[in-house]
Structure 1
Amino acid sequence: MSPPAMAMTDDFDARDQTEMFQKGVKHLFENGVNKLPKKYILPVSDRPNVDKHHPNVANSNLKLPIIDFAELQGPNRSQILNSLSSACQEYGFFQVVNHGIPIEVIKNMIDVSGRFFGMPYEERAKYMTADMSSPVRYGTSFNQTKDSVFSWRDFLKLICNPLPEVLPRWPSSPVDFRELAADYAKETKNLFLRITEAILESLGIFSNGRYKSVLHRVLVNPAKPRLSVATLHSLPFDRMVGPSPKLIDEANPRRYMDTDFATFLEYISSREPKKKNFLESRKLT
């Protein structure tokens, strides 16, 4: 969740506002801050070196790869799998249409998320923690205790599996939060399992570097808050994973060591944003 964009100023940085920053950008907004503090501005030397012609950079001329999930079950399956593989290799992302998730489930999740962020800070702060493995975690930036420059966003992260165990830890306000969020989690889990199956068939999910990662960035709306609901499909914290053996041969040697999700969380929780390239840290020399 990101409040509206702000003009830049130096005034708010004249005082030590570390505690205020750590309470989140919505808390700043609610307390009358209408200028962007330096705390949220990356030095020029740390900003991404953007190639405007690279397909991973969002621009008005980019044709977003679209995967019609319904056609995966039909006679055009091979063609759709090839399109899926191409999108993963050339773009690093794609849009899925006809995925079968009821629109009411999506609307309910967006609505209840907005109502959560609309609650008083004291209610939201009950779930604030630096523990990245917590079943529910409210916070700001990326790592609000270590980042020298903050990201202009607040977040609520929920672990969704196993659902019966984590559900009682989720926010109980708004009163329908758990019910609606659980419905959304179940629907997206089913979709991810089917998408993963298709990716495995088209190339192999652990691609040994063939599938690309995209730099995720969004534009803040200048007039109203922006709310995104991202669902990450992963493995248990201690499950070891590595490149698919089917993709390793003499011409394509193994490029990455085995790892688990717990190691990933530990890595990103201990580094500044510009140093959080976990994939590079797992490369074999």
Structure 2
Amino acid sequence: METKRDTSFTSVVALDEKRQQNIPQQYVLPPSQRPSPTPVDHISTSLPVIDLSMMYHPAYRSQLIDQVVNHGIPASVMKDALDSAEEFFDLPSDEKMCFASTDVHKPVRYGTSMNHGTDKVFYWRDFIKHYANPISEWIHLWPSNPPAYR
């Protein structure tokens, strides 16, 4: 059964590009669900704090990424994967939207939220999700643009 393409969301990338003055309501958490600006007593203060606001600062980006270690994936593989993902998210919206779907079980799906039909608030991120194991059964469904993605 073919699922209808989901064009009911605005990608976070598109929101950023538009530099909108007002945030669309579907991206605003109700006050009761917003994180507390003060530390919660039951959370250990020994947990590392990773400040994601530095992700776009050229001098700190590599330090931020380097905080995740000992996973066994070669650095060259990670770089290639990140470069391909960046190229995908830099594509024009219409090229990415061909992977948008309301079907959460679709083997390749682009979106901002896990389930646009039921989520009351969308996440502040865009994602592409795809099945990958075993790769031989799924890679033909992955985006062909950018060419290095597959």
- In the superposition, the TM-score normalised over structure 2's length comes to 0.69
> Which residue is equivalent to 1:108?
80
- Pair 1:62-2:46 in alignment: yes
User: Max radius of gyration: which structure?
Assistant: 1
User: Alignment partner for residue 117 of structure 2, among 137, 141, 145?
Assistant: 145
Q: CA deviation at 1:158?
A: 1.2
Alpha-carbon distance change, 149 to 118 in structure 1, aligned in 2, over 3 angstroms: same
Identity %: 40
Alpha-carbon distance change, 100 to 45 in structure 1, aligned in 2, over 3 angstroms: closer
What is the RMSD of the two structures over their aligned residues, measured on CA atoms?
Answer: 2.7
Alpha-carbon distance change, 108 to 175 in structure 1, aligned in 2, over 3 angstroms: same
Equivalents in 2 of 1:63, 1:32: separation in Å?
Answer: 34
Q: What secondary structure, in the 3-state scheme, does the structure 2 residue paired with 1:127 have?
A: coil
- Pair 1:28-2:12 in alignment: no
Unaligned runs of at least 5 residues, structure 2: 1-5, 49-66
- Pair 1:126-2:98 in alignment: yes
CA contact (8 A) 1:20 1:28 kept: no
Equivalents in 2 of 1:136, 1:172: separation in Å?
Answer: 12
> Which residue is equivalent to 1:39?
26
Q: CA deviation at 1:47?
A: 3.6
Using the TM superposition, name which of 38-47 and 156-165 deviates more: 38-47
CA contact (8 A) 2:104 2:114 kept: no
- Alignment length (residue pairs): 126
Structure 1 letter corresponding to 2:72 = G
Structure 2 letter corresponding to 1:55 = I
Equivalents in 1 of 2:86, 2:142: separation in Å?
Answer: 16
Q: What secondary structure, in the 3-state scheme, does the structure 2 residue paired with 1:36 have?
A: coil
Q: CA deviation at 1:177?
A: 0.4
CA contact (8 A) 1:21 1:28 kept: no
- Pair 1:53-2:41 in alignment: yes
CA contact (8 A) 1:22 1:145 kept: no
- In the superposition, the TM-score normalised over structure 1's length comes to 0.39
Alpha-carbon distance change, 145 to 54 in structure 1, aligned in 2, over 3 angstroms: same
Q: Which has the higher helix share?
A: 1
Q: CA deviation at 1:143?
A: 1.8
CA contact (8 A) 2:109 2:130 kept: yes
Q: What secondary structure, in the 3-state scheme, does the structure 2 residue paired with 1:176 have?
A: helix
Higher relative contact order (CA 8 A, sep 6+): 2
Equivalents in 2 of 1:45, 1:98: separation in Å?
Answer: 37
Equivalents in 2 of 1:123, 1:97: separation in Å?
Answer: 33
Q: What secondary structure, in the 3-state scheme, does the structure 1 residue paired with 2:106 have?
A: coil
